[in-house]
Structure 1
């Protein structure tokens, strides 16, 4: 089995089709050197790293909104589930989930258990959003709307 060290979470399209990927994330191998360059390449620009879980780092594009990158409600849903609250802001663009950084600032790979658990939760979130695709364009306008609490609950149940 190949160790999944990082998970790429891409935004869902505004108009999902039958060919829309439904896994929620794509496993990638996290390099041990030149990580900053690799992270920037994967997310399309400057990296901002946030922590929503003790065992994971979430890397997003710091200029995603300015660059016009698509909303990423699946990532938002996972972040809410990890924080156990509805976050009042959205996420845009692709994101990478890795393990936390060590003392030298190098990001560690996700453990196999953490990668599997996170993939399961991302799949649940993706399935909910695809089932409710009419809500995707509304989501970034008001992510705190009560209608999205169900997406978070489904994702938390998968954790």
Structure 2
């Protein structure tokens, strides 16, 4: 019986390099994805009267990116990808930001690498920008619309 040396042994294929939906992501990277997707959709919603096709494309692309990020985050928890259908609901997905993933490798791959300082800085900038945009949206769009609705129903 002959032994196969480590050099001759087949190497394991790294599927994360070719399939973006494969693997796991941690909470911080999931937050980065959520904020980035929201910002792109918000920016495109400002210009949608000019380029409706571009807005629809950004919305569909954003939903696709959201689905991929949610599937990868659910896999980090060690759950089946089907849980992404339940946990992928917009407000329910905030639970995915709180629950820690499994520290060891699971059936979906190795544990994600710890976040770097650049990722922490990016997350902070995106989170502040997202919150600021939410406040501006409330002040400029939702607040006046609510006031108009309240005045119309009171009369």
Task: Normalising by structure 2, report the TM-score.
Answer: 0.29
Which structure has the highest helix share of the two? 2
Query: Bigger radius of gyration, 1 or 2?
Result: 2
Which structure has the highest strand share of the two? 1
